[in-house]
Structure 1
Amino acid sequence: MLAFLQKIGKSLMFPIATLPAAALLLRLGSGDMLGAVPNDIVQYIASIMAASGNAILGNLAIIFAIGIAMGLAHDNSGGAALAGAIAHLVLVAVLGAVNEDLNMGVFGGIIGGITAGLLYNKFYSVKFPEWLSFFGGRRFVPIITSITMAVLASILAIVWGPIQGGIDAVGNWLIGAGSLGVGMYGFLNRLLIPVGLHHVVNTVIWFDFGEFTNAAGELIKGDINRFLAGDPSAGHFQAGFFPIMMFGLPAACLAMYFAAKKEKRAAVGGMFVSIALTAFLTGVTEPIEFTFMFLSPVLYAIHAVLTGISFAVSYIVGFRGGFSFSASLIDYLLNFGLADRPWLLIPLGLGFGAIYFVIFYFLIKKLDLKTPGREDEEEEGAEVDSALSNDLDLRAYKTIEALGGQDNIKQVDYCTTRLRMTVIDAGQVDEKTLRQTGACGVMRISKTNVQVIVGTSVEFLAEAMKDRLKKGNPAPANVSLQKDVSVIGETEAQISPDDFEMPMTGDLIPLSEVPDEAFSSGMMGPGFGIHPKVGTVHAPFDGQVVMIFPTKHAIGLKSDTGVEILIHVGLDTVNLNGEGFETLVTDGQVIQCGDPLLLVDLETIKDKVPSIITPVVFTSLVGQEVTLNKLGFQRAGSTNIISINK
């Protein structure tokens, strides 16, 4: 459930990313800015800008449906986005037909996006008989989405009335609770950051709570939208962030700088200046928070309490402000004209800055916290490698290696500041090396779920990692930072034709004939393919099992001479979730040539996957080629089927 909610939180970043542009257009075109200029041309431009901004803010529900569906899709497909739009349109139509007073707002868009995204992942590869094949695959997703959403919407039309009343009651209570309500929100917001669920809470508060009817008679919901529309009661669920993000956390950076060892201040000073300016100018604070979040839960709890106090105090003194993306100098200046008593931010910010500096400096010294610059001598190796700051490809390579290598990585996702990694074994993650690559922190959510706090450059790093993983993550020429592992298998591994046996009975084919580009192009490494006739996978050499995929469809082996191979039974068989597969060995087990490793029910799986052709790829050969000495039908145990050439 936690992993699922985190995926939703990540997906929310797609639609939220549109808000700064919408707010900028709306504000510049409003009546107190360009719209107030007594010039027909300027007012014409202002009206266009305001209309453009309203077009986004007025359609947030369908934007959220599209963005979340695309974010949840395993391949971020546009087909999922289309299904998300269809889900929202069906939901709105059905609710309106049953009761025109029902309004799910942005929450309805979230429901539609989640439904479409989940259905896409389940049905994107569905196959039908030849006469219905046109409607198979991704084309089937909008169809099943519309049917499913019609059923779901008919249920929601009955039950949503009381739910809507409950949500409105909670929202009205929070709004009516004054300083207590906003203070509770500020505290919970920071408290949920370690698990990445603050985005989920923010979406409800910022886009659903409260109602305001503008001059045109349009109903507007959510604290951000109401604030930008001129609602004088909106903005209290945003104002409290400004003193913390612009002053408090930068002051914490200053405290950590002065608490650092004198000989290390120069080394960490640049980092502290960078992340403090990021918080002040853009409102992105996670790189700061993760420098102390796990070192001292007490310190982070104090930070959450101070955030809640900031919200309460801002409410009490009458400081009301808002933003489109985050509480930063940019949003503060942009929305200065809409705020109440915006000048109060200066004394509030300086006051909270002083409190943060004193508390952080005292506790870091008192508790001897190992904040940056205070590490023990044996930990100095964790300092950031400066060569990585200007070489994204090198950083991506080292990040992949520190995460256990490409064989340990199942999925790469990201949100505003963090990599959200699904791995096979979180125990293989090297936190020290990740910090050398520039990571601010590492969170081990579960045995297979890891988050790496990178900062605002996370998108570029994630995309570079995805590109590298497609190519097998080859070592760049300028790599210098190495993990403490043996690399003999990457350069000197060898095996003779007589010591390598056919792992399955079937037709031996060149790798280029495997109907999957990731394998046939050699991206995963050189090798060959087998069209199996018998569903038993045997060990092709003496060695060890180094990896068994959780879905049992693939197994990684390493020979006694250092040769590593991956045997991947069938294509897209991961989607079977282990159906038709039985493992006969365990991770780390020593194996002898010919030992049975997997049992596969070929009859069960052959009609459920694109192909049962099984690629066998050598993942440890660098600058070497695999040549087939034989072709066609070969029995398991046959020798002299391949040669490895430099």
Structure 2
Amino acid sequence: MFGFLQKIGKSLMFPIATLPAAALLLRLGQDDVLGIPFMSAAGAGIIDNLAIIFAIGIAMGLAHDGSGGAALAGAIAYLVLTSAIVTINETINMGVFAGIISGIIAGLLYNKFYNVKFPQWLAFFGGRRFVPIITAAVMTVLAGVLGFAWPPIQEAIDGAGDWILNAGMFGVGAYGFLNRLLLPTGLHHVINTIVWFDFGTFTTASGEVVRGEINRFLRGDPTAGPFLSGFFPIMMFGLPAACLAMYVAAKKERKALVGGMFFSIGFTSFLTGITEPIEFTFMFLSPMLYVVHALLTGVSMMVAYALDIHHGFGFSAGAIDYVLNFGLATNPLILLVMGLFVGVIYFVIFYFLIIKLDLKTPGREDEDEDAENADSGNNAIDVRAYNTIEALGGADNIVATEYCTTRLRMTLKDSALVDEKALKRHGAMGVMKINKTNVQVVIGTAVEFLGDAMKPRVANGNPAPETGTDTPVVAQTASAEPAMKEIIAKDFEMPIDGKIIPLSEVPDDVFAKEMMGPGFAILPSGNILYSPVDGRVVSVFPTKHAIGIETDTGIEILIHVGLDTVKLDGEGFELFVEQGQLVQRGDKLLKLDLKFLDANAPSLATPVIFTNLTEQKVIVLKDGHQQQGTHSILKIE
């Protein structure tokens, strides 16, 4: 259920991504700005149809391949449900819940029936064509059920919404606290959707009824905004001040390393209200700080409510939305004064707790932590699988073993039984405990082989390997390595046309915090990926999105095209090489369908990671846009 709710929360980001465009058009078209009615109408076209947009976006997000067939099924599900249900009870108005329910059912039905096969005479209706058909049938039955079941459910939802809306400071404070507290799980999107798009009603001058805090604020409801206003001081001032506190508290020798990262993510939070890059820097390293952050968010919401501030956003509470919606707000200037106080409070509390409790925020990690991060790539995979299972609490503690490109995604009975130090001794690059039963172990490019080796072992109770249980899997000694892992600057070439960016700007914690190793990232503009070095292809992922190369001096390089591209099942990629093949600089590795990838992946950022450098540093010599084949872009020392 936790994993399923995570998927729904993630899928909600598809339709929510349309809100900035809607808010911009709706606001700019108002009489007090540009006074262009058709612009407001264009924005209202999105806001007023969020339910069907949710149905389409959620269905597509839940589909295993993000197919447009699932999106069509989502739209059909919504149309059938909303058209049929009012014939039973014409007073029913499910709002965005109709879209959410339709999208979930359509996505699940797509995954169930997308490859169904029929006899030859019915073959035309098989596969993806059958999904809209079965979806229409299921939603017809569901409409009949909900026609009688939904009114009491809606009464309960409206009652909860009225209680929260009328609970004053306590209601907005509780929402602000839960909003941040649920962020690590992705479930904050679920409660946001209810508050932003369903709670409360407002009747416009034209007689149209709109629901939800964001919709009501953008359409001129003077009572809307209390559930949005308090976020501005946190995102524009509080979290940037937290970045400053973490920078000041960092070890002197590491300040230069983390300073650029803190500035970029702090400025991003101030300008756009995108806070996850900051929150994920201390969320798992220092959970206490994160709880303090959630509490301060709740307090900020309560103070803004007490000061009668009504401000809102279409995307997030950054400076862009603050300025854009200034004309609709009540007492917006007080938010700036309040923000300065919030910034001071964040800095003092974060700095005090970090120093007093010796919290391991970025720049304060123990020196020996990296030394424990063993490279066991040359050890028997069976022995490593045995040791990994034991470090996870044994086979009896493991419920399910899954993996993505770089991480084991473990479902356990009790995550408290996990031995993090043992996992790192046996090759793990990082461990993230999501909750009491979910743990992610960052392995690197060998995760596929390790995960496949673990599954039969878990099923058989993890018997001791034939080599014996006392065969240690430890870091390789210097004698087992080549004399020197090095790449001469001129021997490493830019693998694709694109813009070089630091790893810290990659919107994925595993890459940004160098859990897999140092390197850089590229925002590709070209569509052909070439080998940057002479070497051997040591891994080609079945989904084609990532390729590992080993140089003749023993350096292992992972090129990972985009984020979450593993879910595309190879679509958007054309492979030119195979595992074990020798390659030279400039040899073609992969062809990219940039248009498809941009539309279906969260980010095109392509990390280039040096996965087995334990002592040397990667220094990037060039930045900005570089042509494929450009050399001397980095050095290793």
The 8 Å contact of residues 411 and 423 in structure 1, kept in 2 or not, is answered as: no
1:124-144 deviation digits (Å, cap 9, x = unpaired): 011111111111100000000
Q: Which residue, out of 297, 318, 321, partners 2:308?
A: 318
Determine the structure 2 residue equivalent to 1:342.
Answer: 332
Deviation at 1:31, TM superposition (A): 1.4
**Corresponding residue for 1:394?**
none
Cα 1:422/1:372, change in 2 over 3 Å: closer
After superposition, the Cα gap between the structure-2 partners of 1:287 and 1:443, relative to the gap in structure 1 and judged at 3 Å, is farther
Partner of 1:490: none
| Closer, same or farther: CA 96–259 of 1 in aligned 2, 3 Å | same
Cα gap change, 1:421/1:130 in structure 2, threshold over 3 Å: closer, same or farther? farther
Q: Is the 8 A contact 1:470 1:524 kept in 2?
A: no
Flag structure 1 segments of 5+ consecutive residues without an equivalent: 36-45, 384-407, 413-418, 485-515, 528-646
Q: Which amino acid aligns with 2:319?
A: L
Match of residue 308 from structure 1: 298
Which residue matches 1:513? none
Residue identity over aligned pairs, in percent, reads 59
Query: Partners in 2 of 1:463 and 1:137 — Cα distance?
Result: 36
Corresponding residue to 2:169 among 160, 165, 179:
179
Output the TM-score relative to the length of structure 1: 0.64
Residue 520 of structure 1 and its aligned partner are, at CA, apart by 13
User: In structure 2, how many angstroms separate the alpha carbons of the residues matched to 1:255 and 1:382?
Assistant: 28
Q: Distance in 2 between matches of 1:240 and 1:117?
A: 35
Whose radius of gyration is greater, 1 or 2?
Answer: 1
**Superposition pairs of residues 464-479 of structure 1, within 5 angstroms:** 469-471=542-544, 473-476=546-549
Q: Which amino acid aligns with 1:12?
A: L
Cα distance in 1 between the residues matched to 2:193 and 2:26: 20
Say if 2:271 is the partner of 1:198: no
Q: Partner residue of 2:63? A: 73
In the superposition, relative to structure 1, how do residues 30 and 518 fare at CA in structure 2: closer, same or farther (>3 Å)?
closer
Matched ranges for 1:505-516 at <5 A: none
In the TM superposition, residue 222 of structure 1 has moved relative to its aligned partner by: 0.5
**1:357, CA displacement in angstroms?**
0.6
1:410-559 residue pairs with structure 2 within 5 A? 410=403, 442-444=432-434, 450=440, 457=507, 469-471=542-544, 473-476=546-549
- Residue 273 and residue 454 in structure 1: after superposition, are their counterparts in 2 closer, same or farther (change >3 A)? closer
Q: 1:212: how far off?
A: 0.5
Name 2:121's counterpart in structure 1: 131
Q: Deviation per CA, 1:64-91, whole angstroms, max 9, x where unpaired? A: 0000000000000000000000000011
Whether 1:214 and 2:204 are equivalent positions in the alignment is yes
| Letter matched to residue 14 of structure 2 | F
Match of 1:259 in 2: 249
What letter corresponds to residue 33 of structure 2 in structure 1? M
Secondary structure at the residue paired with 2:210? strand
For 1:36-47, what aligned pairs fall within 5 Å after superposition?
46-47=36-37
Q: 2: CA distance between counterparts of 1:480 and 1:32?
A: 66
Mapped to 2, the partners of 1:260 and 1:337 lie a distance apart of: 41
| Whole-Å separation in 2 of the counterparts to 1:420 and 1:279 | 27
1:76-87 paired onto structure 2 within 5 Å = 76-87=66-77
Counterpart residue type for residue 23 of structure 1: A
What pairs up with 1:330-369 in 2 under 5 angstroms? Answer: 330-369=320-359
Structure 2 residue 350 is matched with structure 1 residue 277: no
Quote the Cα distance in structure 1 between the aligned partners of 2:42 and 2:220: 17
2:101 aligns with 111
2:306 and 2:571 mapped to 1: Cα distance? 62
SS at match of 1:97: coil
Q: How many residues align?
A: 453
Q: Which amino acid aligns with 1:284?
A: I
Displacement of 1:411 after TM fit? 5.0
Output aligned runs, 1:562-581, within 5 Å.
none
Aligned residue in 2 for 1:25: 25
Q: Is the 8 A contact 2:26 2:40 kept in 1?
A: yes
Structure 2: which amino acid aligns with 1:170?
A: A
Tell me the CA shift for residue 297 of structure 1: 2.6
TM-score in terms of structure 2 length: 0.65
State how far apart, in whole Å, the 1-side matches of 2:194 and 2:364 are: 40
1:294 corresponds to 2:367:
no
C-alpha distance in structure 1 between counterparts of 2:407 and 2:49, whole Å: 29
How large is the RMSD of aligned CA atoms in angstroms? 3.9
Opposite residue 203 of structure 2, the aligned amino acid is T
Q: Deviations over 1:40-76 (max 9, x none)?
A: xxxxxx2221111011111000000000000000000
1:524 & 1:109 partners in 2: Cα distance?
44
- Equivalent position of 2:451 in the other structure: none
SS in 2 for 1:475: strand
| Amino acid in the other structure paired with 1:4 | F
Give the whole-Å Cα distance in 2 for the aligned partners of 1:519 and 1:277. Answer: 34
Change (3 A) 1:357 1:218: same
Contact 2:230 2:300 (8 Å CA) reproduced: yes
Distance in 2 of aligned mates of 1:67 and 1:462: 28
The answer for the alignment partner of 2:214 in structure 1 is 224
Q: Using a 3 Å threshold, how does the CA distance of structure 1 residues 244 and 520 change in structure 2: closer, same or farther?
A: closer
Q: Deviations over 1:140-171 (max 9, x none)?
A: 00000000011111111101101111111111
Q: Aligned partners of 1:517 and 1:306: how far apart in 2?
A: 44
Q: Which amino acid aligns with 1:185?
A: Y
